[in-house]
Amino acid sequence: MINNPYLNIGTEASTGCIILDRPKALNALSLDMCDALATALRAWADDPAIDRVIISATPGRAFCAGGDVRAIAPDIRADIAAGDAYFLTEYQLDLLIHLFPKPVVVVANGLTMGGGAGVLLNASHPVITTAMDFAMPETAIGLFPDVGASIFLRKAPPAVAAFLGMTGWRIGAGDMAHYGIAPRVIDADSHDALIRAVINTPDTGGIDAVLDGFRCEVDEKPLVDEEEWITRHFSKPDPVSIRAGLEGDDHPMAEKTRHALDTRCPLSIAVAHRLLTDPQMEPATIVDAIRQDYALALRMIRHPDFVEGVRALLIDKDNAPAWQPASLSGVTGAMVEAIVTPEDAPVLAIPEASVSTKGKA
């Protein structure tokens, strides 16, 4: 029996069921939660009585607001090994979900960010509802869009991917489906019925048909409607040029975009731009993407911006981080290179769980 106060873990028929149940923290993933999730998945990988897994969350505002970086930031101040351990565990969980030898259906309703997107979008069967509120906000805390974002954000056109990763812009189900980030959308009111239908499906070969039976179209695609404007600005070659081009623009999205680029971590913005636009950083597989994220994360958490960003945004909440450097113009090519080409970074190991990588990448 796996005990964690923030997870409901059990089985029904041939289904392993995991429900995130930490609503007061928007189901943010702590280190213990990641460990418990991985332990359950490892057990079910070897259990012939379990032939599918469903991951969802208790009713509320969020599916998962990401990793609980607020909890680990003080530990990183004292010992950087605490940060290494957290990101190792989180990224190995993402790999475990992606490489799991049985179908993993993740049903995400509401706010889904960062580490929550990793759980959702690395599954074999990600499903979002019409209440989806998605973002990759890591540049606000001195990190970068991780958990495989260099795969799933790049499903959008390059300028749109850069825009989402640099600004942390929030989008809904219509835009996610249009760009192929999460093509399966269901009505929010069908959340529980879909889970019940997946559990009751006699054979796992019928899961796709069951999910498609709940699928719905979403007409609202506000980001798609503004793609021409985004492309005009975010196709420029570097963050400084992008920001300069926005000066004086009176488009409805311009002021909010300028604010994001002026207040988020300059180094993180530059790293995100490089990660999402440089062809040499485009990974061939999800495994490659998450391994690349691990190497970058170990460098980023050693830079003072990460602890400072978490302090300003999540702990003291003064929203006044002292970034180093303080502006986009202060970020040098050498600073970015030091993050994106870590020659001595350890390689993230494939998690052991009787996981077959056959046919998976």
Are the C-beta atoms of 141 and 316 separated by less than 8 Å? no
Q: Which of 133, 146, 175, 227 is catalytic?
A: 146
- Residue 67 is given by DSSP the state B
Amino acid residing at 52: R
Q: Active-site residue among 16, 66, 67, 165?
A: 67
Sign of CA dihedral 310, 63, 178, 175: negative
Is 21 an annotated catalytic residue? no
Active-site pick, 68, 138, 227, 293 = 138
**Alpha carbon distance 200, 7 (integer Å):** 22
Nearest alpha-carbon partner for 109 in 77, 141, 79, 131: 131
Residue 314: count of CB within 10 angstroms of its CB: 16
Pure H helices in 46-190: 69-78, 80-99, 115-121, 149-152, 158-167, 173-178
Q: Is 60 a catalytic residue?
A: no
The residues, ordered by sequence, that sit 6+ positions from 240 with a Cβ below 8 Å of its Cβ are: 328, 329
Among this protein's residues, is 146 annotated catalytic? yes
Assess contact for 261 and 243: CB atoms under 8 A. Answer: yes
CA–CA–CA angle 34, 98, 33 (5° rounding): 10
16 is catalytic: no
Give the active site residue among 66, 115, 118, 172.
115
Catalytic (active-site) positions: 67, 115, 138, 146
